[in-house]
């Protein structure tokens, strides 16, 4: 462990080994996925996938088989990504996992559609016009196909609602509920693959491999998305202690419970919350910690952006809370530099507020830049941190969409940005502008950490 500074103001930097572990996890996860894809492709080749002729649609059918194999593996990887494994969460972070999730998801879906079309035409002996009739025959005569059709419908629903244009027209609550159909879609495809897919059960090794892959994905969901949140909820018995209005449309919720230190939450991280306060309790909402966890209480700060967040302001003390987490990489875990810059816009200042309190730093070593449209959040708390710990606070009034002067303003106030550990949180267009500015100023990408409000 490396320590900078003097006396009680000494700044402690995260162990370099934690960053090395995260890099190893990212490398290992990518290597494991590529190895699995190469293995199923090798089995396809070993079965003569490259030696088929072009007569009677054999080549088309062979292509349909390999696209199905690769699509199946990518869809399983998608389930694991949705399972929120702590190791992956720590290594990739929320935005990193979202990018991988999107790439793997759309690629797997495209290959699944290609598999359906190619296999149909292949069974129709290459006759495209006979494809619809052949597809109907496959659906009604082959075991497991009707379930596979239902699963495909679920996945189509998930993909369509994940397109940015469609996503903007949906409330977060509705999108989140629809997104869970991905689990159902992948699960419904399993019988079809095991009953009719020779590539899945053609040998003992393949049977073991695919059953192990499916079992691992199912176990990841059951453990990390169901069992662990249920255990933590029962163990910690989180309840609303009070709700405090911070400004127009913004409230802070204080929560208490048992043994909260065992959650191992870090400043800057977020949980998904379900407040047992009536209808809509089953919908999860991701909110960041707005105060450094102290083992006795937690605090989140929420802006009214939808039905779920609007209801938060009406929570009563004593309301029970179901939680999943902690999640996110916007935390002290990624810090390897002495000097820090915290850059936030609007309510995006929330996780940075907890970092400003929870990070170790000496006077003048950490600067916080807050862009806001109407009134700054936590102004009094930042003033106290400035007085007590030497936090340097820069307030930039103005709407976050006024991006023309942001790069110049940021570099004017923080000219040594390239030599700091930089944390950014805010709406995606704004955060991307700040990201481009920081990288153009010479900041190495590994020292830039950001999360957005994109979902």
Tokens standing for residue 290: 């707005």
- pTM to 2 decimal places: 0.78
Q: Between 86-123 and 145-162, two packed helices, what is the crossing angle to 10 degrees? A: 120
Q: What is the mean pLDDT of residues 71-86?
A: 87
Condensed to tens digits (0 to 9), the pLDDT of residues 384-430 reads 999 999 999 998 877 544 544 566 688 888 999 999 999 999 888 88
Condensed to tens digits (0 to 9), the pLDDT of residues 215-270 reads 898 899 899 988 998 999 899 999 999 999 988 888 999 999 999 999 999 999 99
Q: What is the pLDDT of residue 194?
A: 66
- How many whole angstroms separate alpha carbon 252 and alpha carbon 267? 16
pLDDT at 327 over 60: yes
Contacts 24+ apart (CB under 8 A), 205-212: 206/43, 209/39
Pairing between strand 448-452 and 421-426?
parallel
Residue written as token pair 């079309």: 117
Q: Between 204-220 and 16-46, two packed helices, what is the crossing angle to 10 degrees? A: 140
Category of 6 on φ-ψ map: left (φ > 0), alpha (ψ -120 to 50) or beta: beta
Condensed to tens digits (0 to 9), the pLDDT of residues 353-368 reads 999 999 999 999 999 9
């Amino acid at each position: 462990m490396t320590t900078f500074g003097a006396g009680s103001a000494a700044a402690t930097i995260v162990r370099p080994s934690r960053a090395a572990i995260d890099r190893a996890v990212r490398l290992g996860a990518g290597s494991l996925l590529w190895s699995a894809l190469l293995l199923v492709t090798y089995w396809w080749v070993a079965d003569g996938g490259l030696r088929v002729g072009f007569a009677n649609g054999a080549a088309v059918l062979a292509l349909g088989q390999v696209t199905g194999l690769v699509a199946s593996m990518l869809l399983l990887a998608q389930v694991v990504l949705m399972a929120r494994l702590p190791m992956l969460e720590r290594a990739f972070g929320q935005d990193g996992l979202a990018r991988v999730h999107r790439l793997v998801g759309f690629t797997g879906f495209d290959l699944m559609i290609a598999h359906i079309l190619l296999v149909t035409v292949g069974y129709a002996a290459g006759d495209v016009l006979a494809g619809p009739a052949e597809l109907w025959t496959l659906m009604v005569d082959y075991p497991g196909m009707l379930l596979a059709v239902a699963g495909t419908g679920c996945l189509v629903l998930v993909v369509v609602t994940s397109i940015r244009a469609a996503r903007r027209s949906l409330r977060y609550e509705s999108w989140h509920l629809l997104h869970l159909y991905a689990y159902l879609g992948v699960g419904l495809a399993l019988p079809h693959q095991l009953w009719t897919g020779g590539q899945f059960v053609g040998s003992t090794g393949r049977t073991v491999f695919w059953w192990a892959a499916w079992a691992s994905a199912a176990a990841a969901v059951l453990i990390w998305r169901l069992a662990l949140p249920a255990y933590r909820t029962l163990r910690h018995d989180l309840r609303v202690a009070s709700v405090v209005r911070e400004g127009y449309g913004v409230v802070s919720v204080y929560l208490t419970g048992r043994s909260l230190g065992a959650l191992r939450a870090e400043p800057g991280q977020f949980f998904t919350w379900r407040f047992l306060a009536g209808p809509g309790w089953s919908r999860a909402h991701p909110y960041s910690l707005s105060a450094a966890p102290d083992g006795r209480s937690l605090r989140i700060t929420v802006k009214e952006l939808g039905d779920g967040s609007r209801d938060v302001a009406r929570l009563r003390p004593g309301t029970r809370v179901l939680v999943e987490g902690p999640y996110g990489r916007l935390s002290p875990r990624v810090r390897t530099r002495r000097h820090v810059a915290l850059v936030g816009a609007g309510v995006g200042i929330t996780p940075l507020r907890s970092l400003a309190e929870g990070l170790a730093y000496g006077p003048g070593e950490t600067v916080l830049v807050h862009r806001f449209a109407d009134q700054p959040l936590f102004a009094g708390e930042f003033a106290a941190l400035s007085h007590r710990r030497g936090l340097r606070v820069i307030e930039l009034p103005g709407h976050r969409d006024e991006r023309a002067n942001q790069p110049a303003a940021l570099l004017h106030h923080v000219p040594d940005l390239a030599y700091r550990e930089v944390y950014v949180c805010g709406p995606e267009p704004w955060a991307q502008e700040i990201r481009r500015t920081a990288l153009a100023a010479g900041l190495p990408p590994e020292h830039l950490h950001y999360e957005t409000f994109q979902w």
